[in-house]
Amino acid sequence: MKILVCVTSVPDTTTKIAFTDNNTRLNKAGVTFITGPYDDYALARAVELKEKLGASVTVLNVGEADAEPVIRKCLAIGADDAIRVNAEPTDAYFVAEQIAAIAKDAQYDLILMGRESIDYNGGQVHGIVGEMLGIPSISPVMLLDIAGDTAQITREIEGGKEELEAKLPLVLGCQEPIAEWKIPNMRGIMTARTKPLKIVEPTGTDKLTAVGSYELPAPRGSVKMIKAEEAETLIQLLRTEAKVI
């Protein structure tokens, strides 16, 4: 069984974001990059399936050279090898096209990725990849087991859960609690240095979208402290200033 895990390299969730080039690009100076949290769940489940079923796990990242520490961490967690498509991942269709091209050549049984990245939060790539490959795409997947050539899946729906069965190959967008995040141990970190990391150039069409500009959220407003015994004042401010009642 061959599993492909697609991962993103994204700013740490505690990063203070700033922009450059007239607010059209992220300022990467001083930014720590991590594996996308939802991708971490996908990778953790892939490693579990590797240990259970004897599968092979390949990590794929569409990104530039600064993503390689994130890729090496994925190798340290348990992936067998990795591929990096040497391109900036700013367009969902473009990223999906790179994934589909590699997956089509290698004939993976299972393609896992996070339900969305935490930088653009588009949640589009898994669906586009499935369409390009002509195979089912399911998201967000909370539980996953494999029995022969069939995947047993639980996914989140509005107001509940849905249990599904589907034949491989599949594309799945993953989220918690599909698996627990894994922390690489020292042996994994050492062996990751020698695992294959293949770098390929992008193929296909040009990017279909471009960023016009980014904007930071409005700063928080000032806070007014109201004494507990002045409930009428609080109610009046909620009506006249906050306008929430």
The pLDDT score that the predictor gives to residue 226 is 87
- Report the SS3 class of residue 60: strand
pLDDT in tens, 182-218: 888 898 999 999 999 999 999 987 788 888 898 888 8
Give 100's DSSP letter: H
Q: Kindly compute the dihedral angle of the four CA atoms of residues 135, 140, 143, 147, in this order, to the nearest 10 degrees.
A: 0
The pLDDT score that the predictor gives to residue 67 is 93
The pLDDT score that the predictor gives to residue 243 is 85
Residue ranges in the chain whose pLDDT is less than 70: none
What is the rounded CA–CA span in Å between residue 60 and residue 197?
A: 10
Q: Which residues contact 89 (CB under 8 A, 6 or more apart)?
A: 8, 62, 63, 95
- Report the SS3 class of residue 77: helix
The pLDDT score that the predictor gives to residue 56 is 95
Length of the chain: 245
The pLDDT score that the predictor gives to residue 241 is 85
The pLDDT score that the predictor gives to residue 216 is 86
Residue pair 109/97 in contact (Cβ under 8 Å)? The answer is no
Q: Domains in the chain, start-ordered, CATH in brackets?
A: 2-218 (3.40.50.620)
Q: Is the bond preceding residue 11 a cis peptide, omega within 30 degrees? A: no
What is the rounded CA–CA span in Å between residue 182 and residue 77?
A: 6
